[in-house]
Amino acid sequence: MVQEVAAEIRAFGSARDIQPLADLPSPIIFLATGLPFALIALLFLRRGGKLKATAAALDPNSAIRRQALLVSALALLFAIFLWNIRAAPGQAPTDFVTATLSPLLWPVRLFVTFVHEAGHSLAALLTGGEVIGFTVSPDGSGLATTRGGYNALILPAGYLGAALFGSALYFLTIRYPKWTRALSVLLGLSFIVLTVLFSQRDESGYITVQLVGIGFGIGMVALGWLAPRIINVFILNTLAILTGLNAAMDILTLISYSYSCSDEVLNDAAAFSCNITPLLPASVIAFIWSAIAVVMLGAAVYFGLVKQVGGEISDAVKSANGKTA
């Protein structure tokens, strides 16, 4: 198992011209870069009792909403900070999927790809189709294989599904902070179930999709079960924003890549153009999808954070005026 994980990490490092990875022993590579959420889960299992006590102290009922707003704002700043850490010159692969992604965001890239391929799969099921399986590769690419269903919804469900997932997750964690721990558990279980039912090794035999699905699944269940509510709000919001940003930027990147219907491999926008709207080029489809993704993420931030903060300020002003009257 450790050897397989190390092989996948070496494949990622080789694609990015990161040579030191190839010289390290497999156990060191696994401990240094493998399954971050699973490691977080072990930490919370070790300190579960102390964290529950801390949660009671940090989350009195009268302050839950304000704490959630503050933590959400901090998560937004943290996510933007991470997003602006780019790969060093000479380390970027040629694949457009990870062309400007730093190694620090590699787990998030795999997380987003998992959500993307799960979006295709769920859309196929919801429209009466069948899921053969989906994969995630070490370089951040993925593939969902489906049969039947309604392609007009299945094709955009990858990028737009990931953007919707990130936007909805950000909104829900701010609007309903009391339920964030349950939300973490639910998401974790969903990832595990999707992995067990539909995941497949990629064409190179890598088990990346299983590592991502099970690793993030266990980590999120542990967070929801043992971590304080504010920790759940912070981590869920950070993942939500990074997922939404990744989805939006992926779609924007598609605009720069032109495909014809005769190409052997089509991206989602090109496939949609060829099979659904032949009069609209892939670049136009990608632009429309990116606009929708940006609007969804912007609406989540506005209605979840900006409007809520405005309400808090208004309530504080009314309370202060009432006391001075």
Average pLDDT value for the chain: 76
Can you give the pLDDT at residue 115? 95
Residue percentage of the chain with pLDDT more than 90: 32
pLDDT digits (tens, 9 = 90+) for 151-203: 999 999 999 999 999 999 999 988 888 899 999 999 999 999 999 999 999 88
Residues 6+ apart with CB under 8 A from 22: 10, 13, 14
Quickly state the pLDDT bin for 72 (edges 50, 70, 90).
Answer: confident
Three-class secondary structure assignment of 77-90: HHHHHHHCCCCCCC
- 90 token code pair: 């000479």
- The better pLDDT of the pair 49, 247 is held by 247
**More reliable by pLDDT, 310 or 185:** 185
Higher pLDDT, 169 or 260: 169
Per-residue pLDDT for 93 more than 50?
A: no
Q: Identify whether the C-beta of residue 157 lies closer than 8 Å to the C-beta of residue 268.
A: no
The pTM of this model reads: 0.76
14 falls in which pLDDT band (50, 70, 90)?
low
* Mean pLDDT value of segment 79-95: 55
Higher pLDDT, 73 or 227: 227
For residue 132, the 8-state DSSP code is: E
280 phi and psi angles, rounded to 5 deg: -105, 125
Report the C-alpha gap between 156 and 152 in whole angstroms.
Answer: 7
Lowest mean pLDDT among 6-10, 81-85, 228-232: 6-10
Rounded CA-CA distance 10/4 in Å is: 10
DSSP string, 138-153: TTS-EEEEEESS-HHH
pLDDT score recorded for residue 90:
47
